[in-house]
């Protein structure tokens, strides 16, 4: 079940954290993998590690998702190596927090450029290739901050809410080409991005008290959802956002 054997998957922001967890899971399910992130050496290292552990092929491609030329080159290199792209995971993202009235324009721009424009550019380039095969799965890592308010996160919340409705829009436009477009909205996941919460015991306990499962998520929790949405078993699911948050947003 949920096999990805012989599929080709590109994961952005995959040298660490949730992206790396997703890449490991998709490789375990049988997919060949393109590890993409902003540092070529880290991409190569992660790709090698994942290929060795799973007997699949993996390559690393440096790509800043907010740069159209680099995104086009990422998709071109994928097709050159593997002949096609079946699965795209838009995972790359950053967070910048400040009060709404003090939030700096340059921070707003970088968060929106990487989190939202990055998902647009990667999805557009990948969808052009997927259309040729009448097959594709695009999965974006949004956040529960795109569903509910997260204090001091104006740009982050707006970028993730943007991904959630872009997901619905792309799902409608691409359904005729049998391309599924879905999103996963994690709650608190233990990664380098959330070190500032993990290391602050008081803040962590306060947060955990609001999560019915009373623990932070792990990258593997998110990867499980992505594997399902990337599989043929999820063919009839499109335009959806699946919260993977230990129940944080249901009360
Ligand atoms: P992470 O540990 O910071 O990993 C994100 C990776 O993306 C990093 O390697 C980062 O590089 C890279 N990246 C940053 N800017 C990029 C760009 N322009 N192009 C390509 N790659 C870029 O974060 P994470 O926690 O794994 O988060 C992964 C995704 O999940 C993000 O979209 C995040 O918003 C989302 N998410 C995370 C949580 C959570 O609790 N962790 C919750 C909800 C949603 P640098 O090291 O240089 O930044």
Q: Is residue 85 part of a domain?
A: yes
CB 150 within 8 A of CB 159: no
Q: Is residue 212 part of a domain?
A: no
> Which mean pLDDT values do the consecutive 10-residue runs of the chain (251 residues) have?
96 98 98 98 98 97 98 98 98 98 98 98 98 98 98 98 98 98 98 94 95 98 98 98 98 89
pLDDT recorded at residue 133: 98
Closest ligand 1 atom to residue 20 Cα is: 26
- Taking the C-alpha atoms of residue 142 and residue 108, their distance in angstroms, rounded to an integer, is 17
pLDDT recorded at residue 96: 98
pLDDT recorded at residue 72: 98
User: Which position has the token pair 């990055």?
Assistant: 118
Q: Is residue 194 part of a domain?
A: no
At 63, which CATH number?
3.40.50.720
The rounded Å distance from CA 83 to ligand 1 centre is 28
3-state DSSP percent of the chain in helix, strand and coil, to 5: 55, 15, 30
Residue 122, domain extent: 8-189+218-244
Q: Is residue 198 part of a domain?
A: no
> Mutate which of 10, 11, 15, 17 to test ligand 1's pocket (most atoms within 8 Å of Cβ)?
17
Give residues (CB < 6 A) around ligand 1: 12-13, 15-19, 37-38, 64-66, 91-94, 114, 141, 143, 186, 188-189, 191-194
Q: Is residue 208 part of a domain?
A: no
Burial profile 154-188: b = 16 or more Cβ within 10 angstroms, e = fewer: bbbbbbbbbbbebbeebbeebeeeebbbbbbbbbb
For 72-88, the three-class secondary structure string (H helix, E strand, C coil) is: HHHHHHHHHHHCCCCEE
pLDDT recorded at residue 172: 98
Q: Is residue 162 part of a domain?
A: yes
The count of domains in the chain is 1
* Whole-prediction pTM: 0.98
* pLDDT tens track for 55-109: 999 999 999 999 999 999 999 999 999 999 999 999 999 999 999 999 999 999 9
- Between CA 35 and CA 158, with CA 189 as vertex, the angle to 5 degrees is 85
């Amino acid at each position: 079940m949920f096999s990805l054997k012989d599929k080709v998957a590109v994961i952005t922001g995959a040298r660490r954290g949730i992206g790396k967890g997703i890449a490991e899971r998709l490789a375990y399910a049988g997919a060949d993998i393109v590890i993409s992130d902003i540092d070529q050496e880290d991409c190569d290292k992660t790709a090698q590690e994942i290929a060795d552990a799973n007997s699949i092929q993996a390559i690393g491609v440096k790509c800043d998702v907010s740069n159209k030329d680099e995104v086009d080159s990422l998709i071109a290199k994928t097709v050159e190596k593997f002949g096609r792209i079946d699965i795209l995971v838009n995972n790359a993202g950053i967070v910048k927090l400040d009060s709404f009235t003090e939030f700096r324009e340059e921070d707003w721009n970088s968060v929106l450029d990487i989190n939202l424009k990055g998902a647009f550019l990667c999805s557009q380039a990948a969808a052009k290739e997927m259309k040729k095969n009448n097959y594709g799965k695009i999965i974006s890592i949004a956040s529960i901050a795109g569903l509910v308010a997260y204090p001091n996160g104006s740009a982050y919340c707006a970028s993730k809410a943007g991904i959630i409705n872009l997901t619905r829009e792309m799902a409608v436009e691409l359904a005729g080409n049998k391309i599924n477009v879905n999103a996963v909205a994690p709650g608190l996941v233990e990664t380098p991005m959330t070190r500032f919460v993990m290391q602050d015991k008081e803040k962590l306990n306060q947060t955990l008290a609001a999560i019915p499962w009373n623990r932070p998520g792990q990258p593997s929790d998110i990867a499980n959802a992505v594997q399902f949405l990337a599989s043929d078993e999820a063919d009839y699911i499109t335009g959806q956002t699946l919260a993977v948050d230990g129940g944080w947003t249901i009360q």
